[in-house]
A and B are shown apart, each in its own frame.
Chain A
Amino acid sequence: MIEFKAIYVIWLREIKRFIRAKSRVIGMIVMPLLFLIGLGYSFNSLVHLSGNVNYFDFLVPGIVGMSLLFTSINNGASIIWDKQFGFLKEIMVTPNSRISIALGKIIGGASTALIQGVLVVIIGVLLGFSLSVTAVTLVFLVFMLLIAITFISLGLAIGSFMSDFQGFGIVMQFVAFPLFFISGALVPVTTLPTVLKYVAYLNPLTYGVDGLRATLLGTSTFGIGLDLTAMLISSIIMVFVCAWAFTKGNTT
């Protein structure tokens, strides 16, 4: 059922493509940078949060979450490219289980998303983020991984049902942006209007970002335990959704 060689080689392909697309790396860094400087610096003196957290510090984990969200959905939806260039049928006609193929794509995409997430953390630190170094700091990598897995799977699942890139713009507008805005990435979830608050509670990114805050900044709304549990559950569910979409979707 699980073919490790297939997972490995599909992962390897993602990594090679990532390394070869240098412009993508630059593009990936520009958006978080703009948010951190444009939003973080200018709102820092305006916004006062409860506790003694300044807005810039609050924002950095949110922007890390944002860049993970967008890269991951993008990585997942890259399956539409594979479809358009005909490469997907070369993969789908091989005797590997659909779950292995999906896992290869997920792990490959997650690896590159992780690299980007770490880069954004480094940029944040360079811009003055007060990283709290504690026993759980490194757990932020786990959160990054789970965020990536959740949203790559989502991108893949949606991408398996689409055949061109017109649909992809719609996904970004109607899926990625709402997920981002209603997640507590920009403002604390607790300050959202009631309806949006409940929506946010259903959004995995909310717990992902909260977990990143817990590990990188040392403050959180839900606590690291709940965050981790929620992210684990969402990752597992989304991997299965993705595997299902792979067998049901239009993958040729």
Chain B
Amino acid sequence: MNQFNQNNKITFDIEVDSLVKKFKEFIAVNGVSFKVNSGEIFGLLGPNGAGKTTTIKMLTTLIEPTSGKARVANYDIKNNKSNVRKNIGIVFQDPSLDDKLTGKENLIFHGMLYNLENKLMLKRISEVLKLVELEDKANILVENYSGGMKRRLEIARGLMHQPKVIFLDEPTVGLDPQTRRKIWDYIIELNKKHKTTIILTTHYIEEADFLCNRVAFVDHGKIVALDTPEKLKNKMGGDIISLKIDFPTNKDIFTKIKWIKNVKIINDVIELTVDDGEKKMLDVLDIAKKNNIKVNSVNLRKPSLEDVFIKITGKGIREETGSFKDKMRMIHGRIR
């Protein structure tokens, strides 16, 4: 059963092999395979509807895969559900609290369903309530919580029984930056101290970048890239210089220059990929001047995971939120 322990140094807490999930005719997950090492923080990144939650639901035994195999904590998700369940914890993407119970009652319910010994349970409850700063709200009904408070309670609950493998489905969505940061630190601490294996999905690029040892890009039910954030970003091969210009211009002006590796024009923004961006910025401005392109603002940045994602799939991770415009607004702010 435990082949990997005997033959290899690395052990895997999650092994997924050609997992498929169909809803009627629609293929939500289309042959996904990956492995997560013991003690790793692993991220699934992808746009809405990519199939991240569906994958997690299969791995946590909540839905049956249409085909394919997977093992979690070394147990088969089809034939050994009960042992899989014993070793996992999950923070769901969608709400899953009983709002007719108080916050503390929700946690007690959880602790007892995981058969925590009473004293330990109460200790854990006060720990996690402190972490998410809900101590003073512990005894009011969840229906009187704000959205962010509910989210924090869900996180507290998911971390409470300290399982071997934790699934976090967009854990920090809707939280303010300070709280998010605190949760990140706790996740890392949990991972360091207890060697907890963590698999998370997120729309926040910074979250994946900050937390994950490795990241898989998911698009249309498939994994389109999988590597460490560093290596993924290196795939972009350099820094990105973006120019905001007045009039649309011809791509050729830049593509014919050989040290410019990649040119992308989106409306009034030109993005150039170059090595050694700090030095090349001046050259780029020169070229623009020579070609009578009026540059309103210029920005240099290291590529983000989002850039890599766009390069691979041709679209952003949070397409619908107009992240690109947001970015340009930031660039403007910095230059003025």
Contacts and interface: CB of A to CB of B under 8 A. Distances in A.
Interface in A87-135: 87, 89-97
A97 B94 CA distance: 24
Of listed B83, B85, B99, B100, residue having the most chain A CB within 10 A: B100
A87 B98 contact: yes
A90 B113 CA distance: 10
Interface string A7-24: 011000100110011000
Nearest to A100: B113
Given A16-B105, A21-B100, A93-B62, A86 B113 contact: no
Interface in A51-109: 85-87, 89-97
Interface in B51-92: 57, 60-63, 82-83, 85-86, 88, 90, 92
B112 interface: yes
Of listed A86, A90, A91, residue having the most chain B CB within 10 A: A90
A237 B112 CA distance: 29
Contacts of A16: 100-101, 105
B82 A86 contact: no
Of listed B60, B94, B95, B96, residue having the most chain A CB within 10 A: B96
A5 interface: yes
B5 interface: no
Interface string B114-158: 110000000000000000000000000100000000000000010
Contact of B96 (A3, A17, A20, A90): A90
A8 B118 CA distance: 14
A21 B82 CA distance: 34
A91 B97 CA distance: 10
B186 interface: no
B247 interface: no
Contact of B109 (A9, A92, A97): A9
Nearest to A88: B96
Contact of B112 (A6, A87, A90): A6
B318 interface: no
B195 interface: no
A227 to B, nearest CB: 36
Interface string B190-210: 000000000000000000000
Given A9-B108, A9-B113, A252-B57, A90 B92 contact: yes
Contacts of B105: 16
A86 B86 contact: no
A16 B142 CA distance: 14
A5 B113 CA distance: 7
B110 interface: yes
B62 A95 contact: no
Contacts of B85: 93-95
Contacts of A5: 112-113, 115
Interface residues of A, number: 23
A8 B94 contact: no
Given A86-B94, A86-B96, A252 B63 contact: yes
Contacts of B109: 9, 13
Nearest to A18: B100
A3 B115 contact: yes
Contacts of B90: 93
A89 B96 contact: yes
Contacts of A91: 113
A13 B95 contact: no
Nearest to A96: B113
Nearest to B157: A90
Contact of A13 (B62, B82, B101, B114): B101
Contact of A87 (B60, B63, B88, B96): B96
B161 to A, nearest CB: 9
Contacts of A20: 100, 141
B89 to A, nearest CB: 9
Contacts of A9: 108-109, 112-113
Nearest to B158: A90
Contacts of B110: 90, 94
B66 to A, nearest CB: 15
Contact of A93 (B60, B83, B100, B108): B60
A18 B38 CA distance: 44
A86 B92 contact: yes
A94 B98 contact: no
Given A13-B98, A13-B101, A252-B57, A95 B114 contact: yes
B135 to A, nearest CB: 21
Contacts of B63: 252
Contacts of B157: 90
A139 B62 CA distance: 42
15 contacts: A9-B108, A9-B113, A17-B100, A20-B100, A85-B97, A87-B97, A89-B92, A89-B96, A90-B92, A92-B62, A93-B60, A93-B62, A94-B85, A95-B83, A95-B85
List the 7 closest A-B pairs by CB distance, nearest first: A95-B85, A86-B96, A9-B112, A95-B86, A94-B113, A252-B62, A90-B96
Given A5-B112, A16-B101, A85-B99, 4 more contacts: A3-B115, A8-B112, A13-B101, A90-B110
